[in-house]
């Protein structure tokens, strides 16, 4: 945002459903969907007399996420009740963590067009998800009643709270993407935003440049896609800026993005909000985490996005930008590594001074080819289909098959594009498609020379143009030759033979 007259101050609260099989305090499945109220039992419904018991895996995942976000894991942690009335919350309180969260004081480094920046993580805590309301009569406001489905109730969540370190919409998106990547890499969450597995709230305020105190903030609720996040933040920033420009005062309140209208709307003001009367959950005993337990979870952490980014740059010579895009998604990074393996790109057995095992130049060139195809055509096709790289119809092995045909000169790069599209549509191997459609590149000099001579014979006036110094004439001939060979002629051979033929005239 250039020359914006206010400084933007934002913090995000990211909610992520954990990848456990069962709910946080009972054995009901966490599976998405299902017929209404069939993944429910007296414990998650909060019926009188039941006793919740904490799922150990929830603690393990929360610790994993905390450590991956560079947090300190608490030695002593407990649950509290957050009290409020809402029909998606059958107990009338949410079991959450208040003053003693499982992890605190972490950070992540994000990369934007402005460079790298550190965003602080205030805390990570465990809690339970709420149920789902279906509104009779269509719209929320027009409904006469609501229908409650508690299948999602008590699916385990972690909430990741950032410091108010975010200064632009671009930073907010980059932060969300980075946290998503970390959660995916660690396997803590499937991060399926369309299923609500990952969503966020934002605290936003503006202040005049140079002012130390924060402005009055609004809290934007429940943004569950990157597109929504961007649109909602941009709208809210402009809304507040307009109020301040007119000399008005921003009201502290909770607002919600209305996607259909493209505006944020007020849900409740400060007077009613945030009076949750937290108190310690008497049904759950405290959690004490030993040093050994923390060390065990830390040792099991996989390679994280930053480390992988550095490895792709060092080992394969990828530009940092390319490596950043590839490693932002675990599925994409896994695809890249698998393709490199299939291509036989072997990092040197001996590490360089920085401890990286580099591939040789041929390996780096091949890796760059893989990355180009992934970031260009493949990303375009996958995105058009609304898919991820994990569901890509072209396997890493088959992509390498195509690149090998290109490298061997069996097909031209132009033909490769066609083959690629067919591979994506059919899932077939490149070799099979090339054989079926007779797309093998013609490199036979005799055959090409014959076609070159024919075409040059047919166009004496263009030959005259060439003799008169018009370089464009060459382009015309190449086009005609490619047309005659359906794009299969080896361009290098064509250029060479054409030049010789023209010079002979």
Partner 1 sequence: MSLTKAEVEHVAMLARLALTDDEVAMYTTQLNAILDYAQRLEALDTSAVAPTAHVFPLHNVFRDDVVRPSMEQAKIVANAPEEEDGFFRVPRIV
Query: Where does this chain bind partner 1 (CB under 8 A)?
Result: 20-22, 26-29, 35-42, 45, 53-59, 76, 78, 83, 85-87, 100, 133-135, 140-141, 143-150, 267, 275, 277, 280, 282, 284-288
- For the bound state, the minimum distance from the C-beta of residue 193 to partner 1, rounded and expressed in Å, comes to 23
| Least separation in angstroms between CB 163 and partner 1 | 26
Extended beta strands in 275-414, E state: 279-280, 287-288
State phi, psi for 126 to the nearest 5 degrees.
-95, 145
Q: Which is nearer to partner 1, 143 or 482 (CB)?
A: 143
Rounded CA-CA distance 41/43 in Å is 5
Beta strand 80-83 with 132-135 is: unpaired
Q: How far is the CB of 388 from partner 1 (least distance, A)?
A: 25
Handedness of CA 43, 47, 51, 54 (dihedral sign): positive
Nearer to partner 1, 42 or 208 (CB): 42
Q: How far is CA 219 from the centre of its chain?
A: 24
Comparison of 107 and 276: residue with beta carbon closer to partner 1: 276
Shortest spacing between CB 45 and partner 1, in angstroms: 7
Cβ within 8 Å of residue 240, ≥6 positions away? 6, 204, 205, 206, 215, 218, 250
* Nearest CB to partner 1, comparing residues 1 and 140: 140
Calpha distance 165→330 (Å, rounded): 26
34 backbone φψ class: left, alpha, beta (φ>0; ψ -120 to 50): left
Distance CA 124, CA 97 (A): 9
Nearer to partner 1, 35 or 246 (CB): 35
- What whole-number distance in Å separates Cα of residue 232 and Cα of residue 223? 8
**Toward partner 1, which CB reaches closer, 29 or 379?**
29
Give dist(CA 190, CA 183) in Å, integer: 8
* Minimum distance of partner 1 from residue 287's CB (angstroms): 6
* Dihedral angle sign, alpha carbons of residues 150, 154, 155, 158: positive
Half-sphere exposure of 68 (CA within 13 A, CB side): 28
Closer residue to partner 1 (CB): 59 or 367: 59
Q: Write down the least CB distance from residue 218 to partner 1, Å.
A: 17
Whether the CB-CB separation of 63 and 71 falls below 8 Å is answered with no
Q: How far is the CB of 131 from partner 1 (least distance, A)?
A: 9
CB burial string 40-49: b at 16+ within 10 A, e below: beebbbbeee
Nearest approach, Cβ of residue 62 and partner 1 (Å): 13
């Amino acid at each position: 945002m250039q020359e914006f007259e206010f400084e933007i101050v934002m913090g995000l609260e990211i909610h992520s459903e954990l990848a456990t099989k069962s709910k946080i305090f009972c054995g009901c499945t966490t599976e998405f969907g299902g017929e209404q109220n069939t993944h429910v039992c007296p414990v998650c419904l909060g019926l009188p007399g039941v006793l919740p018991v904490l799922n150990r895996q929830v603690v393990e995942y929360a610790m994993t996420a905390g450590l991956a976000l560079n947090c300190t894991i608490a030695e002593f942690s407990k649950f509290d009740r957050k009290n409020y009335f809402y029909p998606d919350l059958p107990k009338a309180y949410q079991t959450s963590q208040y003053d003693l969260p499982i992890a605190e004081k972490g950070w992540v480094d994000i990369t934007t067009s402005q460079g790298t920046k550190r965003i602080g993580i205030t805390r990570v805590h465990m809690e339970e998800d709420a149920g789902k309301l279906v509104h009779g009569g269509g719209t929320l406001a027009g409904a006469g009643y609501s229908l409650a489905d508690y299948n999602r109730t008590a699916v385990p969540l972690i909430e990741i709270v950032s410091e108010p370190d975010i200064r632009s919409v671009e930073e907010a998106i980059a932060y969300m993407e980075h946290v998503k990547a970390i959660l995916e890499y660690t396997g803590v969450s499937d991060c399926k935003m369309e299923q609500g597995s990952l969503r966020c709230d934002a605290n936003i305020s503006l202040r005049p440049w140079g002012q130390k105190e924060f402005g009055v903030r609004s809290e934007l609720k429940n943004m569950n896609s990157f597109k929504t996040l961007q649109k909602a933040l941009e709208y809210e920033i402009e809304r507040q800026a307009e109020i301040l420009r007119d000399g008005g005062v921003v009201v502290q309140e909770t607002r919600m993005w209305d996607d259909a209208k493209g505006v944020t709307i007020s849900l409740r003001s400060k007077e009613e909000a945030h009076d949750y009367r937290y108190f310690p959950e008497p049904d759950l005993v405290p959690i004490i985490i030993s040093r050994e337990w923390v060390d065990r979870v830390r040792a099991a952490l996989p390679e994280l996005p930053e480390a992988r980014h550095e490895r792709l740059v060092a080992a394969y010579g990828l530009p940092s930008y390319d490596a950043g895009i590839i490693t932002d998604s675990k599925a994409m990074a896994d695809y890249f590594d698998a393709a490199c393996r299939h291509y036989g790109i072997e990092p040197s057995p001996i590490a360089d001074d920085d401890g990286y095992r580099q591939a040789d130049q041929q390996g780096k060139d091949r890796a760059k080819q893989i990355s180009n195809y992934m970031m260009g055509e493949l990303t375009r096709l996958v995105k058009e289909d609304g898919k991820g790289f994990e569901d890509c119809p072209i396997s890493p092995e088959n992509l390498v098959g195509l690149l090998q045909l290109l490298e061997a000169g069996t097909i031209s790069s132009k033909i490769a594009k066609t083959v690629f599209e067919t591979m994506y549509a059919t899932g077939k191997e490149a070799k099979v498609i090339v054989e079926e459609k007779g797309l093998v590149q013609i490199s036979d000099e005799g055959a090409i020379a014959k076609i070159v001579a024919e075409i040059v014979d047919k166009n004496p006036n263009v030959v005259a143009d060439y003799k008169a110094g018009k370089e464009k004439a060459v382009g015309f001939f190449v086009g005609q030759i490619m047309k005659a060979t359906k794009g299969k002629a080896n361009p290098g051979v064509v250029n060479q033979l054409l030049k010789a033929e023209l010079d002979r005239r």
